[in-house]
Structure 1
Amino acid sequence: MSDQAGLSDQYRMASPWPLFVALGIPIAELGILFGVFVVAVGGLLLFCGSVTGMLREADYVETVWRPLLVFAVFLFAIGSVLAFTEVSLVARGYAIITTGAVLAAAGIGGELFVPKREPV
């Protein structure tokens, strides 16, 4: 009798993405909370990229480029609200908008320049 019933060697046992999601959230929150631009952008990039990787690994999406664009639009909206409505949150809003711009550039660049996979 096996102590791992039903598991096959062809499937991976664990995914690396949850660790990076769990790291990206507090890093982004600390950067946004304390107004540290680079930390906020890095944490948001880590979080959004990890969630996108998780979606791709679970086969919910065909490529990672379109979910990155969805995250970019979402971050543009949140960053714009913070930057243009409340005076004390302008730097934090710009950090979120910058992250959205980086994700949009990655999504558009990936969609345009990365060749599509052939179905197996």
Structure 2
Amino acid sequence: MDEAPGLSDQYRTASPWPVFIALGIPISELGLLFDLFPLSVGGLVLFGGSIAGILRESGYVKSTMKSLVVLSAIMFAFGGWLVFTDVALATRGYAVIVAGFLLLVGGGVFELFVRDQRPTI
């Protein structure tokens, strides 16, 4: 009797990134709802970092840093747009800008100090 019928060793294990992507935005919105700015920023960093991770894992990008730079630029633009267009959304805009900055810094630190990007199993 086979423990895992229909599965073979050629298939990779499931990716953890979709769970973190699904949790990033609600965590950020909870931070905005309860006026907890660090929680908002943390949720957006979790969301952006997970997107960069899933892009790297699936092979769409070769460098995690390049994807984080693009995601940071998108966050800077969107956050700036929120801050300058509507006063009611200014806190959300500042959270997006700070999260973009933290992603950029985190990606730089990752690129400088992590040499081997292959998973060890």
| Structure-2-length-normalised TM-score | 0.78
Aligned-partner Cα distance in 2 for 1:96–1:45: 9
Runs of 4+ in 1 over 6 A off after TM superposition: none
Distance in 2 separating the partners of 1:107 and 1:95: 18
Compute the TM-score of the two structures, normalised by the length of structure 1.
Answer: 0.79
Q: Can you give the 5+ residue segments of structure 1 that lack an aligned partner in the other structure?
A: none
Residues 98-117 of structure 1 mapped to structure 2, 5 A cutoff:
98-111=98-111, 114-115=114-115
User: Could you list the per-position Cα deviations for residues 97-119 of structure 1 after superposition, in whole angstroms to 9, with x for gaps in the alignment?
Assistant: 101111122234444565487xx
Question: How high is the sequence identity, in percent, across the aligned residues?
Answer: 53
Deviates more, 1:9-18 or 1:57-66: 9-18
For residues 79 and 44 of structure 2, the distance between their equivalents in structure 1, rounded to whole angstroms, comes to 12
Look up the SS of the partner of 1:54 in the other structure: helix
Tell me how large the CA RMSD over aligned residues is: 2.5
Q: 1:112 to 1:51 in 2, by over 3 A?
A: same
| Residue-pair matches, total | 117
The answer for the alignment partner of 1:49 in structure 2 is: 49
Alignment match, 1:87 = 87
Question: Secondary structure of 1:21's match?
Answer: helix
